[in-house]
Structure 1
């Protein structure tokens, strides 16, 4: 069998969401594929090469690791362990980076340790995030928009140096608002709706309160490099973790894909746009299970970082849409981010002026992932609430994704996992 080796980069996770009670996959036409988007600036090959040389691979690895540890922490919660758990670590990391820039002392030390930034200067962290965003947002034949904002009450004085940093390094919009008033809630929800092209129309159903809200938004719209023909989509049985089955629209296509398999799993990369970004799907073999795969993922992802070969794949991929909301403080604290949530121990002295006492009260996260014959549309919002007080044809390999599976939307140049998660129950 002739194989073409493809080198892949280190993995990075973008944003996080877990399945909340009652959340489910919905079937139907994707609402986001048809959205009009601003024209994407394309970096030239030379420009991309120059930016790539500035990317800190250690930060990329750190974000991947943080995302998987958070995925595990959420999976260990009995309330969420039996459902879908789809996360977007980049969004959470960026929102927490806005908060991290306001910390000092033990609070900063804990957050840097949990986020994998231990030993790095704030300047290096901010520069690394800035360079990564520049690379992700430009090119690839997909739309990827990232936005940040800081909302704070009019009667709270925030340090000018902090506000200047988040403007310069994260292009954050800074707005004053009465966070106890419904007008502020409406304004924040409108910002969320605008930045996600309507995929996530709101983040709050009541005024957020507190003294500040730090928000990250990410919107992804990528058409498959080779679309699935809707005429080939058929309803098939999808086997759930408990052995029962349910009918699921299954998209079908045969063609060359980057493919790899191990003793207990199969993996395929389904490219978007010009091929720089793709969806990585890892499917446990019938002799294995989703639980075994997740244990392996949480322990070591190196099996999916190396060479993939080009093979002719007879692919079946579920058509689905997931919308989920999750509160993250418990999971983040279980990873060791304790002081930031403790009103007595939190040190946000780099953010608060005039001796004010700040701490993190809430971390709210929403995601939407919509997969269809045309491609994938996905969006994520993370709000941190601050309180004061082509190969030669071969025989096709069958890979019918008709049971629980793991997926990640990945940037090939950096290895960045923009969205990732496990689908247990479509």
Structure 2
């Protein structure tokens, strides 16, 4: 099937959104922003059941697998060896899906292989992503909003099939502007700031140029089903990978949790809202290390999917806020996405009219995760630039997360990992 999919100077921005969707963007200088709490749309149990039957579980598993492979590739970079490494596999996958809809030939084949979509046609991929978004955005007692927009250079004629595909599958809004001007940069930054509720205030410090900027924004805000009492938060030592320690605010709570442990690790699911979404925390035991745990995760993550029991746990969890920026081209090339970055070989012929040569120049990813006694707020931006040419025990289990650990924010019904990462320095 012919691929319908990007343009030149195209940037895909994926970020966690905190404002109402569908707001109109005006050209010129940005106006003052009033952040409004989005309404959580609720599906009935029967409606959720019907949507779940349409979810392609293979695509969800492919997304999580891609996220772990990217996590591994980034961990090999000396730049991230001594710090946290937190990404949004959902954000990156959805951003790349928007670019994928503009590819053809070998470029499309490489991207589909990397993303785990080999053998699927465009319509099924886009419908699968649409259904997953519909389920994630509705209910669960949390706020999860997704917004998409395409800003293209004045005079650029985008292919009708591409526009229809991204509108139908991803709800894209299309804007025409002069990407070489400050007014366009200001308007785009306003949109990003608005859609992330100020968590990520800007994406550009100069006009983006090129022929298009395609933006996808996502926002997650989840309150714990059972909040931590701030009065119980105390400063404790957190042991770093090198054996040194630092003081961190440790939240404390004893309660009933889904819990599992192995010879070298403990795992817990801390629910948000009505329990449909939760934070999965995997802690290496003192006899092990975060490096050993990551090797297990990269080899077989399904170990942490099932067979949890309901236990009384005396939990200590660091209160932390982590902000990171990544340059992804090298890691994506390592995973097999090579031609899209090659000026001579990239094929983005299904995005715009005119046959101009496009290829991907930059891929930036930003994440913000803020964990407190009340819950979690998380945001992410992915920018892809395209240029031309059981019964509780008598005594509670103790799980004190006082050393480097892995976590994921997961949707219970689909298993989709919205965020994942290793926290080495809370």
> Quick check: TM above 0.5?
yes
Tell me the residue number matched to 1:312. 312
Tell me the residue number matched to 1:79. 79
Pairwise CA distance, 1:164: 1.6
1:294 aligns with 2:294: yes
Pairwise CA distance, 1:245: 0.3
Where 2:255 maps in the other structure, the secondary structure is: strand
Tell me the residue number matched to 2:149. 149
Where 2:53 maps in the other structure, the secondary structure is: helix
Pairwise CA distance, 1:307: 1.6
Tell me the residue number matched to 2:282. 282
Q: How does 1:158-169 map to 2 (within 5 A)?
A: 158-169=158-169
Greater Cα offset, 258-267 or 349-358: 349-358
Describe the superposition over 1:212-269 as per-residue Cα deviations: whole angstroms up to 9, x where unpaired. 2222211000000000000000000000000000000000000000000001000000
Pairwise CA distance, 1:156: 2.4
Question: Structure 2 vs 1, CA of residues 114 and 386 (structure 1 numbering), >3 Å: closer, same or farther?
Answer: same
8 Å CA contact retained: 1:16, 1:67: no
> Following the alignment from structure 1 to structure 2, what is the Cα–Cα distance between the partners of residues 212 and 327?
20
Where 2:131 maps in the other structure, the secondary structure is: helix
Where 2:266 maps in the other structure, the secondary structure is: strand
Where 2:343 maps in the other structure, the secondary structure is: coil
Tell me the residue number matched to 2:203. 203
8 Å CA contact retained: 2:225, 2:274: yes
1:55 aligns with 2:55: yes
1:104 aligns with 2:88: no
Tell me the residue number matched to 1:23. none
Aligned residues: 395
8 Å CA contact retained: 2:15, 2:196: no
Greater Cα offset, 168-177 or 204-213: 204-213
8 Å CA contact retained: 1:224, 1:375: yes
Pairwise CA distance, 1:352: 2.1
Q: How does 1:147-226 map to 2 (within 5 A)?
A: 147-226=147-226
Greater Cα offset, 99-108 or 186-195: 186-195
8 Å CA contact retained: 1:259, 1:267: yes
8 Å CA contact retained: 1:16, 1:419: no
Pairwise CA distance, 1:347: 0.5
> Following the alignment from structure 1 to structure 2, what is the Cα–Cα distance between the partners of residues 356 and 420?
37
Describe the superposition over 1:49-100 as per-residue Cα deviations: whole angstroms up to 9, x where unpaired. 0000000011011001100000000001111122100010111111110000
Greater Cα offset, 71-80 or 157-166: 157-166
> Following the alignment from structure 1 to structure 2, what is the Cα–Cα distance between the partners of residues 59 and 394?
42
> Following the alignment from structure 1 to structure 2, what is the Cα–Cα distance between the partners of residues 36 and 211?
31
Q: Which runs of 5+ in 1 are unaligned?
A: 1-14, 18-34
Greater Cα offset, 83-92 or 174-183: 174-183
Where 1:55 maps in the other structure, the secondary structure is: coil
8 Å CA contact retained: 2:15, 2:216: no
Pairwise CA distance, 1:394: 3.0
8 Å CA contact retained: 1:92, 1:216: no
Pairwise CA distance, 1:125: 0.2
Tell me the residue number matched to 1:269. 269
Where 2:157 maps in the other structure, the secondary structure is: coil
> Following the alignment from structure 1 to structure 2, what is the Cα–Cα distance between the partners of residues 310 and 246?
32
Tell me the residue number matched to 2:252. 252
Pairwise CA distance, 1:391: 4.6
Q: Which runs of 5+ in 2 are unaligned?
A: 1-13, 17-34
1:367 aligns with 2:367: yes
Tell me the residue number matched to 1:338. 338
Pairwise CA distance, 1:392: 4.5
Describe the superposition over 1:133-181 as per-residue Cα deviations: whole angstroms up to 9, x where unpaired. 0000000000001111212111322112111211111001111222222
Describe the superposition over 1:263-300 as per-residue Cα deviations: whole angstroms up to 9, x where unpaired. 10000000000000000000000000000000000110
Tell me the residue number matched to 2:22. none
Describe the superposition over 1:280-337 as per-residue Cα deviations: whole angstroms up to 9, x where unpaired. 0000000000000000001101111112100000000000001111121111111110
